């Protein structure tokens, strides 16, 4: 076999073992050698390679454009059907026509672009009708409405270059304008979704998936998130379409499109979830040295922690957090991965040991706290600090994460800790859970608040309980009282809030916070009267 | 007794007088607070609400939005992140409440992205579950300041 010329090197290297780059040099020879089915598949794969090649060499690559033109001409000549295979590189739609050569009985639709828009709107309308008719169920069963959707999707199934056409439509024009209404955009994304799902379900579809993945950086920003969401959630036969078989291609695309680094890194999140513990470790260990991409850093640590060697993941996380050259964004992402995925005792110890670095990252602590049985591990760390009387701020953070602890345990903790900010946090955590309510809780909690609360001008209680914490507890109790229909408790709590809102000794921000809570329960007239009083 | 020339005394006097000023300039950190935007964070199991059905013999779904089991909202605030600004310092202001709520898929869901179809990831009301420190930028005042 003769050596491939360098301009086709990209196509030749693309992981499609049945191809040789020399097949695409001589179009007439290729036409004679390949049958229709293979040619269509190879056309799509070649298109993918050429698109990547054009991206590497710039949009003005004349070699790529010549090849695109020759491929399009070959398709036009095939089967006597006048069909122009490809949209232009600038995303402008071209006239296309198709017939139901697949034999599924779809009607001939005429000439685009008018029919393309109509079909896109038909898909959006059909799906909306299905949702409107489902009446709260999670499964749609109306035969007529399902048939309407099939009628709208069917033409795309029978036209071999549908994916290319739709991706070109979603790319926008030369000026960066997406010339579609929001319904048409939704319809186009959903058409791609159905193409991927149905073709994959039929045992085909790999080339379409590759084409979509390669086109993602070119998709208009107004459509990209929707398309990525559709692709990453697309499943056929109970299995996600985007699986480990696309790992190498995504790695390749990530290297080819560095401006879309985070876009492709995010796809690892979907694929990583389907890897075995052993494969998680071997695959993601490769990215251990990547320290610039917060998304990839988070996914790497997450999957290493879930692999068959989680100790390495924890070690790497600790090493990265101690590295002063790594950005805070990456460090926050790594800490988030540890909080959510390390075993709860390791995660609690990890955060507790670095509390000073993450003391103003409440979501980090709460993400650990929402895990099963986390309150046990957090309690171990907390008790260790309480015994030595150390680090009240760290104790506060640990308590803020104890969303799974019982109301009684948190009340007991509040009664035993001698630091006001820890007491305040314990009461906030205890009252923030929607399942815990009794009028007795109101009395006990308010008693505890009043026992520890004094209001000097700086807004801190006698033991450091802050005004924000006090108001937060009253806010939570008021919400629960209203939900439970306990008007007696609600009136008592609103009285406390009114007192704070009208106390000239309170800071302005504290009075404003109390007023905002009162606005949920009082009429505008009552609020005005309160402000004037 | 060591006699110092008047010039030397004057220089010594100036050096001593300037010391408090040098100390003052060192004490004003010349920093300012940096804005941090509001943050929403999902916790727990993340579900994709949706409507499932079969077309062309293959099962698929109309995909709704992602619906977290718990969601946290950290209000916009300012933090000390080392931003430089002559004559000011980043100082503690007050604590702001962090809020949490619970959510669940509520039946009819469609991505509500500019297409007018309602999205129903149903969430409960916000409860105040923690605090975040807010900071502000202040001029360096006081006897040692500018």
Q: What is the pLDDT of residues A359-401, one digit of tens each?
A: 999 999 999 999 999 999 999 999 999 998 889 999 999 999 9
3-state secondary structure of B129: strand
Distance from the Cα of A189 to chain B's closest Cα (Å) equals 11
Instruction: Write down the pLDDT at residue A23.
Output: 32
Instruction: Name all contacts of A489-492 with Cβ < 8 Å and 24+ positions apart.
Output: A489/A439, A489/A442, A490/A521, A492/A442, A492/A446
Distance CA A162, CA A146 (A): 21
Chain A segment 434-463 residues within 8 A of B by beta carbon are: 434, 459
B35-47 per-position pLDDT tens digit: 999 999 999 877 7
Is B128 in Cβ contact with A475 (below 8 Å)?
yes
Alpha-carbon distances of B57 from A159, A195, A434, rounded to whole Å: 19, 13, 43
Report the residue of chain B nearest A422, measured CA to CA: B130
pLDDT band, residue A101 (cuts 50/70/90): very low
Query: Cis before residue B30, ω within 30 degrees of 0?
Result: no
Instruction: Write down the pLDDT at residue A129.
Output: 86
Residue A65's Cβ-count burial label (10 Å; 0-12, 13-18, 19+) is middle
Question: Residue A347 pLDDT more than 80?
Answer: yes
Residue burial B75-114, b: 16+ Cβ < 10 Å; e: rest = eebbbbeebeeeebbbeebbbbbbbbbbbebbbbbbbebe
B56 interaction partners in chain A (CB closer than 8 Å)? 150, 153-154, 157, 198
Q: How many other CB atoms are found less than 10 A from the CB of residue A312?
A: 15
Question: In which element (H, E) is residue B104 found?
Answer: strand B88-105
pLDDT band, residue A111 (cuts 50/70/90): very low
CA Rg, chain B, in Å?
30
The residue behind tokens 């800071």 is: A507
Q: A220 vs A444, which has greater pLDDT?
A: A220
Residue B92 forms contact with A (CB below 8 Å) = no
pTM: 0.71
Is A134 in Cβ contact with B127 (below 8 Å)?
no
Distance CA B105, CA B48 (A): 8
A434 interaction partners in chain B (CB closer than 8 Å)? 102, 124, 127
Distance from the Cα of A13 to chain B's closest Cα (Å) equals 34
Tokens representing A518? 């009162």
Is B127 in Cβ contact with A431 (below 8 Å)?
yes
Q: Indicate if ipTM > 0.90.
A: no
- The strand pair at B88-105 and B121-123 is best described as antiparallel
């Amino acid at each position: 076999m003769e050596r491939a010329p360098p301009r086709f090197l990209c196509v030749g290297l693309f992981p499609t073992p049945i191809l040789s780059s020399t097949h695409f040099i001589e179009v007439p020879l290729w036409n004679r050698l390949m049958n229709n089915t293979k040619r269509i598949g190879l056309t799509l794969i070649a298109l993918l390679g050429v698109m990547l090649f054009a991206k590497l060499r710039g949009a003005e690559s004349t070699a790529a454009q010549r090849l695109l033109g020759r491929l399009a001409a070959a398709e036009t000549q095939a089967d006597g059907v006048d069909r122009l295979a490809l949209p232009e590189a600038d995303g402008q739609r071209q006239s296309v026509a198709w017939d139901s050569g697949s034999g599924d009985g779809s009607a001939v639709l005429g000439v685009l672009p008018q029919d393309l828009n109509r079909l896109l709107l038909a898909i959006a309308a059909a799906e909306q009708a299905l949702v409107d008719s489902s009446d709260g169920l999670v499964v749609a069963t109306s035969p007529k409405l399902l048939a309407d959707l099939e009628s709208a999707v069917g033409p795309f199934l029978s036209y071999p270059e549908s994916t290319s056409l739709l991706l070109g439509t979603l790319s926008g024009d030369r000026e960066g304008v997406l010339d579609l209404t929001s319904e048409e955009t939704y319809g186009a994304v959903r058409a791609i979704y159905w193409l991927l799902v149905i073709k994959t379900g039929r045992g085909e579809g790999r080339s379409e998936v590759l084409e979509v993945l390669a086109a993602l950086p070119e998709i208009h920003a107004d459509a990209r998130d929707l398309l990525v969401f559709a692709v990453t959630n697309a499943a056929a036969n109970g299995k996600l379409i985007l699986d480990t078989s696309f790992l190498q291609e995504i790695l390749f695309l990530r290297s080819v499109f560095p401006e879309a680094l985070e876009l492709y890194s995010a796809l690892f999140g979907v694929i990583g979830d389907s890897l075995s513990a052993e494969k998680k470790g071997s695959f993601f260990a490769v990215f251990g040295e990547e320290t610039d991409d917060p998304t990839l850093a988070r996914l790497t640590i997450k999957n290493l922690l879930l692999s068959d060697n989680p100790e390495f993941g924890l070690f790497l996380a600790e090493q990265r957090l101690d590295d002063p050259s790594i950005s805070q964004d990456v460090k926050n992402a790594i800490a988030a991965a540890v909080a959510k995925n390390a075993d709860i005792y390791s995660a609690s110890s990890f955060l507790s040991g670095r509390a000073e670095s993450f003391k103003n990252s409440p979501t980090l602590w709460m993400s650990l706290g929402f895990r099963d049985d986390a309150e046990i591990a957090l309690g171990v760390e907390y008790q260790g600090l309480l015994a030595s009387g150390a680090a009240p701020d760290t104790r506060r953070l640990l308590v803020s994460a104890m969303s799974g602890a019982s109301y009684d345990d948190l009340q007991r903790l509040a009664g035993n800790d001698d630091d006001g900010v820890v007491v305040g946090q314990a009461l906030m955590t205890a009252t923030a859970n929607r399942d815990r309510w009794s009028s007795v809780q109101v009395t006990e909690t308010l008693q505890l608040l009043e026992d520890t609360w004094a209001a000097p001008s700086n807004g801190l209680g006698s033991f450091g309980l802050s005004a924000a914490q006090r108001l937060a507890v009253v806010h939570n109790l008021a919400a629960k009282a209203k939900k439970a229909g306990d008007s007696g408790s609600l009136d008592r709590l609103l009285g406390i809030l009114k007192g704070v809102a009208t106390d000239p000794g309170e800071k302005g921000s504290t009075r404003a916070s109390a007023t905002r809570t009162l606005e949920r329960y009082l009429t505008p007239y009552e609020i005005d009267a309160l402000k004037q009083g | 007794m060591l006699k110092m020339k008047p010039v030397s005394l004057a220089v010594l006097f100036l050096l001593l007088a300037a010391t408090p000023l040098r100390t003052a300039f060192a004490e004003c950190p010349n920093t300012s607070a940096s804005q941090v935007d509001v943050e929403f964070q999902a916790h727990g199991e993340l579900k994709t609400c949706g409507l499932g059905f079969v077309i062309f013999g293959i099962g698929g779904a109309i995909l709704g939005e992602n619906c977290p089991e718990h969601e946290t909202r950290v209000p916009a605030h300012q933090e000390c992140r080392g931003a430089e600004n002559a004559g000011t310092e980043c100082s503690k202001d007050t604590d702001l409440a962090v809020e949490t709520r619970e959510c669940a898929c509520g039946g009819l869901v469609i991505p509500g992205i500019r297409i007018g179809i309602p999205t129903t990831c149903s969430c409960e009301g916000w409860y105040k579950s923690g605090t975040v420190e807010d900071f502000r930028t202040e001029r360096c005042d006081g006897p040692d300041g500018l």
